[in-house]
Amino acid sequence: MSSILTNNGAMVALQTLKSVNKNLAMTQNAISTGKDVATAKDNSAVWAISKVMESDVKGFNAIKDSLALGESTVAVARNASETVTDLLTQMKGKIVAAQEDNVDRAKINDDVTALRDQIASVVGAAQFNGLNLVDGSAGTASVLASLDRDNAGNVTASSISVASQNLSTGGYASKGVLAGSDNATTDNDAAGFTMDKTGGSGDIVIDSSTDNFAAGDTVSITIGDKVASYTVQAGDLDPSGTYDANYTDAIVAVGLKNQIDALGITGVEIDYDSSSAPGTLSFVTGAGGVDADRDVTVSAQFTNAGSGGLAALSSIDVSTDAGAAAALGTIETLIDTSIDASAAFGSAQGRIETQKEFISNLSDSFKSGIGALVDADMEETSARLQALQVQQQLATQSLSIANQAPQSILSLFR
């Protein structure tokens, strides 16, 4: 039956053309975005999975930065500990040479001291972004290493712990062995005062009666911008075997006075009375001594040799036969300490490098997985585009033919 009111053929052709145009639009969108699933409406389940995985990839990128920072920090510490090992090995050569009687031990001892100072310099400078793993101040450092997601979707962070190694040669003490005063005396581990240039005075008191000095402990006095220091030697302790504060304090005070005198500081006089005040150094400016051209600040600090992993370095003295013999055993222990530190840092650095490589590979795997879920197959899409374009042309032609059908009815009325 033919009807001028209902054109079934045109309706079928129109629906076919709409379907072809819809598929063609989807194909063109896939070509322009490169994705089969570009939005949640394309495939909500696949889109949700891809977004979770993309967020994990972002997290892994941040973790790679954290691992790179941690690796650099540990590398600095490893290089420092290896350098310390090399310096200690050089020092061992000097100590071995000092075992011979027919050598100038004083000059060898100067070389040992220079190496000790260089070790302290290396340890102090071995920091990366403010974190020093070899001076004993850091404790345990944590390096963010991974984000772990369980089957319930919960995410936890995991870290690589790197234990610091104490290769310092000393540290500030928390015991009162010094006093500094211009009018009164107070015990503290740091002491100081300022003397007026027109006439001032003050005392630095070496008072170790509370806690005994040990070989390697150092007392430093700063006058203005100059520093004098004295390191306690084993022979400075009371030879009777019973600790005598006055005996040691007097030796330290004399040693400091000699160091201060050698600095040639103008405008300041320093007095020492071994009989009435064996541990007291008295400073005078102005009316009480030589005129100074500015106010003078005097401060003192005690450094405890026992707080560092290489603290025994401070007690090495090869200027005597006994000291050279004792130093030989000490240096072996110190070398073992630095070797152990180097090995620990090397192991930690290797683990961080392995984790960084794994995270990089894992991130690439995630990206490949996301691509497999949402990326368009461009070869397939190209073929589909060609087919849909042909279908569109045919559907358009079919609709045109169907629309012409009612015209044939006119011939029935001629």
Residues 74, 345 contacting (CB under 8 angstroms): yes
> Has residue 118 been placed in a domain?
yes
CA distance 188 to 235: 26
Q: Enumerate the H helices of 98-192 as residue ranges.
A: 105-125
Clarify whether residues 72 and 143 are in a common domain.
yes
The model's pLDDT over 276-303, given as tens digits with 9 standing for 90+, comes to 777 888 888 765 445 455 677 777 777 6
Residues 98 and 159 in one domain: yes
- Reported pTM: 0.58
8 Å CB contact between 167 and 134:
yes
Per residue in 217-260, pLDDT (tens digit) is: 778 788 877 778 787 776 676 655 454 667 778 888 888 888 88
Compute the distance between CA of residue 414 and CA of residue 392 in angstroms, rounded to an integer.
36
pLDDT (tens digit per residue) in 7-34:
888 888 899 889 888 888 888 888 887 8
pLDDT at residue 357, as a whole number: 92
Q: What is the pLDDT of residue 88?
A: 95
Distance between CA 25 and CA 48 in Å, rounded? 23
Structural domain count, the chain: 2
**Which pLDDT band holds residue 175 (cuts at 50, 70, 90)?**
very low
345 neighbors 132 (Cβ within 8 angstroms):
no
Indicate whether 157 belongs to any domain.
Answer: yes
Asked if residue 357 and residue 299 are part of one domain, the reply reads: no
Confidence of residue 185 (pLDDT cuts 50, 70, 90): very low
Q: What is the pLDDT of residue 78?
A: 95
Q: Is the pLDDT of residue 138 over 80?
A: no
Say what percent of the chain tops pLDDT 90: 19
Give the mean pLDDT of the chain.
81
Pairing label, strands 187-188, 155-163: unpaired
CB 236 within 8 A of CB 213: yes
Cβ pair 20, 395 in contact under 8 A:
yes
Task: Evaluate whether residue 67 is within a structural domain.
Answer: yes
Lowest mean pLDDT, pick from 15-19, 195-199, 274-278, 340-344: 195-199
- Residue 118: per-residue pLDDT: 93
State yes or no: pLDDT of 111 exceeds 90: yes
Q: What is the rounded average pLDDT of the residues 126-149?
A: 86
Residue at token pair 């006119």: 410
- Statement to judge: residues 80 and 204 lie in one domain: no
Query: Is 360 a member of any domain?
Result: yes
Which of 307, 332, 348 marks a domain boundary? Answer: 307
* Other Cβ atoms closer than 10 A to 191: 25
The SS3 assignment for 228 reads: strand
Q: What is the mean pLDDT of residues 294-323?
A: 76
Strand 226-231 to strand 190-195: parallel, antiparallel, or no bridges (unpaired)? unpaired
The torsion angles phi and psi of 101, rounded to 5 degrees, stand at: -70, -35
Domain boundary among 307, 327, 354: 307
pLDDT band at 189 (very low <50, low <70, confident <90, very high): very low
Q: Token pair for residue 117?
A: 């100072």
Q: How far apart are CA 286 and CA 315, in angstroms?
A: 39
State the distance between the two ends of the chain, measured CA to CA, in whole angstroms: 19
**pLDDT tier for residue 174 given thresholds of 50, 70 and 90:** very low
Among 307, 329, 355, residue at a domain's last position: 307
269 and 294 assigned to the same domain: yes
Do the domain assignments include residue 137? Answer: yes
Q: How confident is the model at residue 150 (pLDDT cuts 50, 70, 90)?
A: confident
Same domain, 176 and 302: yes
Looking at residue 122, its pLDDT comes to: 92
Please tell me the predicted confidence (pLDDT) of residue 326: 85
pLDDT of 195 over the 90 cut: no
Report yes or no: 237 and 248 within 8 Å, Cβ to Cβ.
Answer: yes
Range of the structural domain that residue 73 is part of: 48-169+319-366
Range of lowest pLDDT (119-123, 154-158, 208-212): 208-212
Q: Output the pLDDT for position 67.
A: 93
The backbone torsions φ and ψ at residue 240, rounded to the nearest 5 degrees and listed phi first, read -75, -15
H or E segment at 50? helix 44-97
What's the confidence (pLDDT) of residue 188?
38
Angstrom CA distances, 7 to 15, 288, 392, 409, stand at: 13, 125, 20, 12
Q: What is the CATH number of the domain that holds 72?
A: 1.20.1330.10
Calpha distance 173→305 (Å, rounded): 9
Question: pLDDT by residue (tens digit) across 48-94?
Answer: 888 888 888 888 888 999 999 999 999 999 999 999 999 999 999 99
